[in-house]
Structure 1
Amino acid sequence: MSVSLASPTIPTNRAILNLAWPLTLKAMMLHGIVVIDAWLVSALGEPALAAMGLAASFGALLLGVLAAFANATQIRVAQAFGTGDPVNLKTAFVAGMIISLVVALIGLVIVWALAGTFIDHFAHTPWIAGEARSYLSVFLWVVTLEAVGQCMGSYFNGCGKTKAPFLSYLVAIPINVGISYALIHGHFGLPEMGVTGAAVGSAVGALARVLFLAVGFLGMTGGFRNVAGWRNTTLQASIRRHLAFSLPIAGTFVSNTVANYVSTLLFVKMTVNDFAAMTLIQPWVMVAGTFSISWAMATGIAVAQLLGRDCRGPELDTFLRRAWRGALIAAGIVALAFFGIILASGTLYGNLEAGTRAALLSFLPFLLILPFPKGSNAMCGHTLRAGGDTLYVMNIFLAAQWLFRVPLTALFILYLDLSVTWVFALFLAEELVKFPSFHLRLLKGEWKRGLADD
């Protein structure tokens, strides 16, 4: 096995950028799995698209949960990489892989038990229900393969090699598009499978991604065949420790997903124009903000590596101050992107009514400010997680979502009947509520000793 030890130098902002940009593109491509299927299926008409969308909601949720656990594995690998100990690296990877596969299995069982009833209830016609069931039965293979692929990708990311997972998607996406297109429409002598063909293409693309990563992983580690022992004495103890670290990160994701879903149900109660404006802006907030979040994630990887090297003094503080300046620049870029999106909304969506355009324009002042506290909070969150303070980070998110944003969203819409501008302002207000708790915890510095205690 060949494992490169962490560099003794403190990472520069250029090094963080080299980590961040592949993470950004990889995140967009992960979201693109379902987006590509929807784009290809749209040629079959609205009923086919409805069937795919109904089934894909389950797949997207499972992929998101797996991504949360993979993020935890990424941090554990980065900590282990910092120590330079192959036993620690093997422990982080194997424990993460076992947990990922178990989580995927639990998710598959739940979907198998509940999805059919859900689909039959919400599908508009029996044909849509049948197509949704068929699509989901194949797409669950994508979930299984991604359980493996995301964990291997986390190993590369934790070791600072973020380009490998990005390249794996560059391999997978053309395969996905080509096979999906051929199977949806029955080209090149292949059977015409309709909606299900898109799921088959996604599964084959996911398999290609896993094989690409597996080749690189075996070449980098030799499969840890010559590494004996486990960090926490036994594999069982290592898995328990890894799970205790991972669950708050997964809990944060699930809470955020549910909070956003509840908020969307509340948005439905607004006027059509206001709901349309919220529907249009939310994906842009997610996509445009990916770079800023990826910068914070890359900083977290670097911090975890530094803590693994027992770097907890002035050098670490100097690195964080420098990385924070980079985060402010990233936030400024995101703010400019929001500015351009809002100004171009009339061109991007040519048939928007005047009320919808006015609502989007009213969001602009908040969008110009939002990236700065959101990016700084993300820096705190990923830094605290790098030191093992995952439970505290989860508690901040839970409190801000369920004690602040969701109740106020309900109050503003259902009782006070405030404008959509006030409702959207809660996204900024939520970040401002989290700001003191995150930054005071970071300045307190106890997170620096978390890995040592572990």
Structure 2
Amino acid sequence: MTIKAIFLHGTVVIDAYLVAALGETSLAAVGLAAAIAGFVLGAIQAFSGAMQIRTAQAFGASDPVFLKSALAAGMAISLTVGLVGLILVLAFGGSIIIAMAPSTEVAGLAQEYLAVFCLVILGEAIGQCISSYLNGCGETKLPLYSLCLSVPINVVSSVVLIHGYWGLPAFGVAGAAMGSVIAVVVQVAFLLHRLVRVAGHLRHVPGWRQPSFLQSLNRHLGFSLPIAATFLSAAVSTQVCALIYAKLSLNEFAAMTLIGPWINVTGTVGMQWAVAAGIIVAQLLGQKEQEQVLDRFLASAWRGAFIASFGVALLLLAVCLSANALYGDLSAETRSIVLAFLPILLILPFPKGSNAICGNTLRASGDTIYVMNLFVAAQWLFRVPATALAVLYFDVGAVWVLSIQLWEEVLKFPAFHRRLLTGNWKKSVISG
């Protein structure tokens, strides 16, 4: 799961790296367009994250009717979210870009990128749902294989289409989006093929978890909404902050656009460890394991989270120290800002990783409302207002703006750990 997530976020890093050769203007355009599309992709991933836990509960209970209901309901919800999001992006995306872009040139390039990238949204609606189902069933290698197939295709096609090799036109930033479209088509085709092999027998399983599919869909939605709201709030608040970053100077915005994907890529080491821990907790609860088993597992998972956080800090250290070599085409000022981020990046992984263990364990036990409230409060009562004030009112530098992410994790730390240490999550009863 970690390798798969690194591949996924690594695609964004690769796109940014390839586009960086075109200069700060093109890089800023990709960052702005990605922020718009990120609202919808975040919503898709939010419901996929909820489906992952739901599937794990069904898999732990060894209930084929439960598995069939989770898959069908999850796919229906994911496709609906993707289609509604696509319509909203097509209707309002251009206006938002014009309002937030630092220049007309950036706005034009961002609109070109977004117009093509919209096709990725439909592919992700299907692909994320299938990947979550497979992860919940323990088939975590298959989503990884899909990215091992699609990422090289994305890189090669993006390079060719950006620069116009092999006799093709040079599409610039739009070429990066075209490469992503080609890759997601290949990925979804592979996942559909593997899903038929893994879950094809569910077509012959009669009935639904509830008396009808509609009732099963409502039950699935009721379970998913608090989890999805948590993920969606995180995605939307992140994209709102990304739009606010566009009001920084061009060099500062370019630096934030560069470091954001790296934080996501390296952070997947800790985040996916926590997600995997949550899946196993859900399976153990579905199997009605004793509290001692749950305690032993969680203690080992927490030790692993600390080691993962240390590894993330080392990776971010390497990225910052290599900025001059990685991004030699960018200005010295942009590269110096990336290096200045280092003190924050060395501390951030530790509270973030421990909070993630708490959040995923509580979600797996069904304590989804508390997790949602804590995340939403931290994001919308602190992170977004603090970012807006820092950038739009106080006009502080990018380093201080990035530090807001660290302070958000520090604020959540006591509430998460106090809730988990009460031990009530171990008494959870999984229902359909």
Q: One fold, TM greater than 0.5?
A: yes
Aligned match of 2:306: 328
Aligned match of 1:225: 203
SS at match of 1:225: helix
**Paired AA for residue 413 in structure 2:** F
Conserved? CA contact 1:331–1:372, under 8 Å: yes
Aligned match of 2:35: 57
| 2:143 matches 1:165 | yes
Percent of aligned positions with the same letter in both sequences?
Answer: 53
Q: Distance in 1 between matches of 2:393 and 2:309?
A: 34
Give CA-to-partner distance per residue, 1:232-270, whole Å, 9 cap, x none: 222112211222222223322333344345555666787
Aligned match of 2:367: 389
Give CA-to-partner distance per residue, 1:169-198, whole Å, 9 cap, x none: 111122233444455566556677665554
Q: CA RMSD in A?
A: 3.6
**Paired AA for residue 119 in structure 2:** W
Single out whichever of 265-274 and 282-291 deviates more from structure 2. Answer: 265-274
Q: Distance in 1 between matches of 2:85 and 2:243?
A: 24
Provide structure 2 residue ranges, at least 5 long, that are not aligned to the other structure.
none
| 2:121 matches 1:143 | yes
**Paired AA for residue 92 in structure 2:** L
Give CA-to-partner distance per residue, 1:260-308, whole Å, 9 cap, x none: 4555566678788877776665444333222011110111111111111
Specify which of 297, 304, 309 is matched with residue 287 of structure 2. 309
| 2:272 matches 1:291 | no
Aligned match of 1:85: 63
Single out whichever of 65-74 and 118-127 deviates more from structure 2. Answer: 118-127
SS at match of 2:204: coil
Q: Distance in 2 between matches of 1:312 and 1:251?
A: 30
Specify which of 76, 84, 95 is matched with residue 98 of structure 1. 76
Aligned match of 1:240: 218
Single out whichever of 60-69 and 152-161 deviates more from structure 2. Answer: 60-69
- Rate the CA distance shift 1:242–1:42 in 2: closer, same or farther, 3 A: same
Single out whichever of 222-231 and 147-156 deviates more from structure 2. Answer: 222-231
1:60 Cα offset (Å): 3.1
Q: Which structure would you say has the larger Rg?
A: 1
1:117 Cα offset (Å): 3.2
Aligned match of 1:380: 358
Conserved? CA contact 2:226–2:368, under 8 Å: yes
Conserved? CA contact 2:323–2:335, under 8 Å: no
Single out whichever of 432-441 and 293-302 deviates more from structure 2. Answer: 432-441
1:94 Cα offset (Å): 1.0
- Rate the CA distance shift 1:334–1:57 in 2: closer, same or farther, 3 A: closer
Q: Distance in 2 between matches of 1:421 and 1:142?
A: 32
Q: Distance in 2 between matches of 1:415 and 1:48?
A: 27
Relative to the length of structure 1, the TM-score reads 0.80
Q: Distance in 2 between matches of 1:171 and 1:193?
A: 24
Specify which of 308, 331, 337 is matched with residue 315 of structure 2. 337
**Paired AA for residue 238 in structure 1:** S
Q: Distance in 1 between matches of 2:20 and 2:252?
A: 26
Relative to the length of structure 2, the TM-score reads 0.84
The aligned length equals: 429
Q: Distance in 2 between matches of 1:135 and 1:179?
A: 15
Equivalent residue runs for 1:103-252 within 5 Å: 103-119=81-97, 124=103, 129=108, 133=111, 135-184=113-162, 188=166, 196-222=174-200, 224-252=202-230
Provide structure 1 residue ranges, at least 5 long, that are not aligned to the other structure.
1-22
Conserved? CA contact 1:78–1:304, under 8 Å: yes
Conserved? CA contact 1:217–1:223, under 8 Å: no
1:45 Cα offset (Å): 6.9
- Rate the CA distance shift 1:223–1:58 in 2: closer, same or farther, 3 A: farther
